[in-house]
Each structure stands twice: as structure tokens, then as C-alpha cells.
Amino acid sequence: MSEITPDLVRHLAGLARIQVSDEEVARFTEQLGLIVDSVATIKAAVQGDVPRTSHPIPMANVFREDVIVPSLTQQEALSSAPDSDQGRFRVAAILDEE
């Protein structure tokens, strides 16, 4: 059984400056109680010498080796561009800068 009471929910709502109705207080009391009980259950299950991890499954380096492959030349890349200038794509300005 959790320590969350309707008075505690009202107090927390007041600290957060949130107006809550009596119906919301009852619903939040139940929901927060469930959360606190769930955390307590997990905490009890993980006591002892369980090592802390950042991921539940051991991870290995999943990166592949860099392999050089043929790619487009600058002219080929710019050949379908609507507008280009000095070997670069030319686009409309989006800021009021020169």
C-alpha cells in the first residue's frame, strides 16, 4: 500500500499551482499510488549485487567499416539541379541576409 493520500495529492497540486477537482484528486491518488507501488516492487526485486547497466542487453560496436565506393561527380550531382553557381546548389534565400 502506498503512502499517497488525497491530502498529499492536494498539497502537491498546490505546490505545482494546479487546480484539481475532487474527482481528479481521487484519480490521481490511485494513479500515483500505483506508480509508487510499482517502483517499490522493482526496487525490492533489484536489491543486492545486481550490477548497474545503461542497457539491459550487452551491446557491442555495431558500426561497419568505411568502404570507399564509386559516387557521383560534382557535375553529375549538379546536372539535375534547377540552379547552380560555382559548383554548388543555388537555392532561394530563407533569411533576410545577404
Each residue's pLDDT tens digit, 12-53: 999 999 999 999 999 999 999 999 999 988 888 777 777 777
Fold for 6-45, please state it.
Histone, subunit A (1.10.20)
User: What percentage of the chain reaches a pLDDT higher than 90?
Assistant: 53
When pLDDT is averaged across residues 46-66 and rounded to a whole number, the result is 78
Identify whether the C-beta of residue 78 lies closer than 8 Å to the C-beta of residue 90: no
Reported as half-sphere exposure (CB side, CA atoms, 13 A), residue 28 has a value of 17
Q: At 26, phi and psi to the nearest 5?
A: -65, -45
Tell if the pTM clears 0.85, that is, is over it: no
